[in-house]
Amino acid sequence: AGYSATWQMIQDKYPSRAPRNLGNAGYFGDARAHISTPVQEMAYNAEGLSLDFYRELNASWNDVKRYFADLDSVEKSRLRFCTETNLMDPVEMALYAEMTGDSDGVVSEGESVVAKCWENHFWYAPACRQSSSCWLYITGGSGWSLVEFMQ
């Protein structure tokens, strides 16, 4: 289930201890990825790339892969299987497919739509399915901010 369903489950199951939504602090925010300062500095000093700006991460324009871990170097036994992540959330994945038109990135299982996984651990963005110039993004938990980064 997505964030909204998890929030509601906590509200229902732990009403006396559940967090309360007190509104916003005058601005709206969202979760973001963290790229370590040494990696950002290496890319900036070598090529003037500012990896804290999402457009610099576009593999069509810049070869940023060299600044990130290679897929083969990742100890996959330490990763969750796709089946244990938000990639299997049929509501989120149906919305992803509808909004992007990426029918090759999802599979239909009966009435449900889930993400298509490679090597049981990875989902590849459309551009990365036909290119080796993409970089690896690993998130925590069950896939924090995964859906936002898929888009």
Asked whether the beta carbons of 39 and 68 are under 8 A apart, the reply is: yes
Q: What are phi and psi of 131, to 5 degrees?
A: -140, 150
In this prediction the pTM is 0.71
pLDDT tens-digit readout, 85-125: 999 999 999 999 999 999 999 999 888 999 999 999 999 98
